[in-house]
Structure 1
Amino acid sequence: MSNSTILKNKTLALIATDGFEQSELLQPKQELESRGATTHVISINGNKSIRAWDQKDWGETVSVDKQIEDANIADYDAIILPGGQMNPDILRTDKKVVAFIKSASELSNIKVIAAICHGPWLLVEAGLVDGKQVTSYPSIRTDLKNAGANWQDNTVVTDGKLITSRNPDDIPNFIDAISQRLTG
């Protein structure tokens, strides 16, 4: 099977809002699509587009495919949660987003719940990290530990459906781990 079809028939939800870390949404989206996946950017508050944070300033604008209330969790094989500080901090206060992520953990069709950088804050809010092996951006390590997670300083950590990474430097390993879990 060629790399461009390895994820054919897989549909992935990328949940984000304004302030997502540009590389953490765009690089996985583009690379997973190049492997054959269909991706949907899902957001909140009626956003038709969302704006990235690119290291130290505002970055690119990305079109939103669906609103969280219109997204059916059963339509997806994976949920991807990009980081940035603003994005997950806003999303973790949205009850619909938290419920969507929590329900993903309960459905057998969802093979991956992946979060990078500050994205694991959403896993904490959904109650998914207690007793799990995870990683994240170092500044939220204590939050994860306080929620019962076993935090590790690795490029990618997989525990069941959960795949977590630390920062943009880890994106290649993060993408490979998602692909392997979806095809394994």
Structure 2
Amino acid sequence: MNANLPHVALMIRRGLHRYVPDLISPETAARLESVTLTISRDLDSAGLIVDPNRTYGIVLRRRPEGQAAPEQSSGLEKEAAAWDAACTRAQDLSLRLAAEWAPRPEVLTVVQDHDRVVVALQITDLRQWETWLTGLSIPATAVKSIGYAAVVDVMLQDVPLRITAHDVPELAMEAAHADGGDA
């Protein structure tokens, strides 16, 4: 029961006594009390009376370990659990990539960015870039040149991965000129 219902009923009773005193008599007292309680309950059912003991909105229930509680998970709780899982996958991938690739001289950063992994490279030789593409099974068609950098946005192990390789377009142009081709 809404803890504010008795107070609301009292306010309705006072209002009736004040604004329609002609309707109030000893004969109508029982009927008046019934009407007062009915109005109070109707207002509460309509959500017009704040209940101090009720939590409004969606409450995310979590276990101490951080996972969403399985009982009656709302859509928002399911989304939160999916987000947590995506962030965990991204963290695992970033740690694996950092362990395997960070010692290389071209690596500037390998970081987790929430649910994705971001890698920044300073390429000084096109063979370094080719090693990355081959090592991560990234097709050449996934590479986009944006200004002075080559950018790759792919999914790797169900994790969005962005690799930004600085100076690749310039090195490719130099290589094309060295081969006698026009850029």
- Fold shared by both chains (TM-score > 0.5): no
Shorter-normalised TM range: under 0.3
TM-score (norm 1): 0.25
TM-score (norm 2): 0.25
The structure in which a higher percent of residues are strand is: 1
Name which structure has the greater RCO, CA cutoff 8 Å, separation 6+: 1
